[in-house]
Structure 1
Amino acid sequence: MAARLFVEQPLAAASEDLDQDFALPPGAARHVQVLRLQPGGQVLLFDGSGDEWTAEVTAMGRSEVRVVLRERHSVDRELHPSVTLAVVMPANDRMDGIVEKACELGATAIQPLMSERSVLRLTGDRALKKQQHWQGVAVAAAEQCGRTRPLQVAPVMTLSAWLAGLAARGNDGAERRWLLSPVAAQPLSARSREGQGPIVVLSGPEGGLSADEEQSARAQGFQAVQLGPRILRADTAPLAVLGWVALGGLEGSAAS
């Protein structure tokens, strides 16, 4: 199977002339060099637009790899409905795993958050570098799993600022907002029957959200849901919900 590579440059313009080759950006070029592909070898390229292209290597150099697009493929491997995970960042490097697995399972976006009980706190350049790192993790996961639209990692925000942004934006009721909470929460299967729109899942840190934070989330239309009698870790809970949706949990609930 041909290697799949993400390129940041729009490929639609390049595809207008299928006989004209062009240089791959440095990241994709390095992948082709590591694979030791030679002229005539094929790769699959995607740029986040939803399509992918079969490309043929035309020249291999030490600093440049050139390819020509041969065929465009219209594919849809995205999760429907779209799911955004708003995750209070766990400590250590566990956010890397959340981003990777969320991309594989089909999440559209991740919003990294800081709350009152956060252990990991990022601001300024550190926050920007982490966002860029996580976006790279998402791109690598998309290359591996077949997605043509890599999960988008939003800038790090405080929970209060993010909720304030939701308040300013408003909600016409089409967006389903779920708050993962073991307190006064209904089973996920019960909430999943309500509505058909996109889903936003808010998940807290290791110590959970404070009572005031949960109340603030509820004020923005978040409905508390629980995942069963066991308390899941901060990096397990949002992926459990996403996996349930990706594997047809909504359909199963609607049919029950």
Structure 2
Amino acid sequence: MISRFHFPQPLPHEGEIELPEAVAHHAARVLRLADGDPLVLFDGLGGEVEARLLLRGRAAFAELCRYREPRRESPLRLVLVQALATGDKMDWIVQKAVELGVAGVQPIQAERSVLRLAGERAEKRRAHWQQVAVSACEQSGRNRVPEVGMPMPLANWLAAGQAQALCYVLAPDGGEAAFGTGPRPAAGVQLMIGPEGGWTAHELAACRAAGCIAVGLGPRVLRTETAGLAAIAVLQARWGDF
């Protein structure tokens, strides 16, 4: 499998470019690619360029060979609204959600979220999760990088009128409607997943008041790092490209 790398600026379709230090290090030092080896570069704007690695001393360049725009994005625009989870669970959730085809991830501070983020710490975590999304695109073949939003309290997200597309909120104690039925929604779907301790009754009431539809995923209670991925797979099978 040819190695893929995200290029942080818009890519030309031909010519020769110098690779950023981080990309050059990953290609030559981590993956041990040799001079002349093939690689693929993408800038997140939808296309990718087949290229050839050129090593010149400590610098690395790419000879751009062929531009193409393969279709790898789901026809379903799906945004995961994920309550903050502890440890490396958020890394896992972001990585796998991007692999499954989400268009964006919005971290949410819920009442029962153990992880608390604000200020500079929140920005550092957001930047880290954004890089996780980039790496997931490199691995999965996606050429558009989903945006990871700044963590915000649930109340702020609802107050800003974010729940404008079809919005599902997972509630393990019972759903109010069928999940993923009817024609594909033109405006996409927002999928809300609670924290380890679940949504509070107050939060579920606020989500319903904002127009979100409570749904369940069967009789078993799933962990926060499982529920969102399972629901994404269901929606991709019904409205996406699975």
TM norm structure 2:
0.92
Q: CA deviation at 1:38?
A: 3.4
Equivalence for 1:78: 73
Equivalence for 1:6: 6
Kept in 1, the 8 Å contact 2:184–2:239? The answer is no
Kept in 2, the 8 Å contact 1:186–1:225? The answer is yes
Task: Count residues with an aligned counterpart.
Answer: 238
Equivalence for 1:249: 238
Distance 1:88 1:165, change over 3 A: same
Equivalence for 2:102: 107
Deviations 1:41-98 (A, max 9, x none): 2210001011110112233332x21112110011111122111000111122111110
Counterpart of 1:43, as a letter, is L
Distance 1:226 1:38 in 2: 50
Equivalence for 2:49: 53
Equivalence for 1:254: none
Does residue 185 of structure 1 match 2:181? no
Query: Which residue of the other structure, out of 29, 34, 37, is the alignment partner of 1:38?
Result: 34
Equivalence for 1:196: 185
Counterpart of 1:192, as a letter, is T
Does residue 206 of structure 1 match 2:196? yes
Distance 1:239 1:187, change over 3 A: farther
Equivalence for 1:127: 122
| Unpaired stretches in structure 2, ≥5 consecutive residues | none
Distance 1:72 1:194 in 2: 34
Query: Which residue of the other structure, out of 153, 177, 189, is the alignment partner of 2:148?
Result: 153
Moved more, 41-50 or 180-189: 180-189
Deviations 1:90-147 (A, max 9, x none): 1221111101110110111110111111111111111111111111111111111111
Does residue 93 of structure 1 match 2:82? no
Q: Give the aligned CA root-mean-square deviation in angstroms.
A: 1.8
Distance 1:194 1:204, change over 3 A: farther
Kept in 1, the 8 Å contact 2:55–2:61? The answer is yes
Partner SS for 2:224: coil
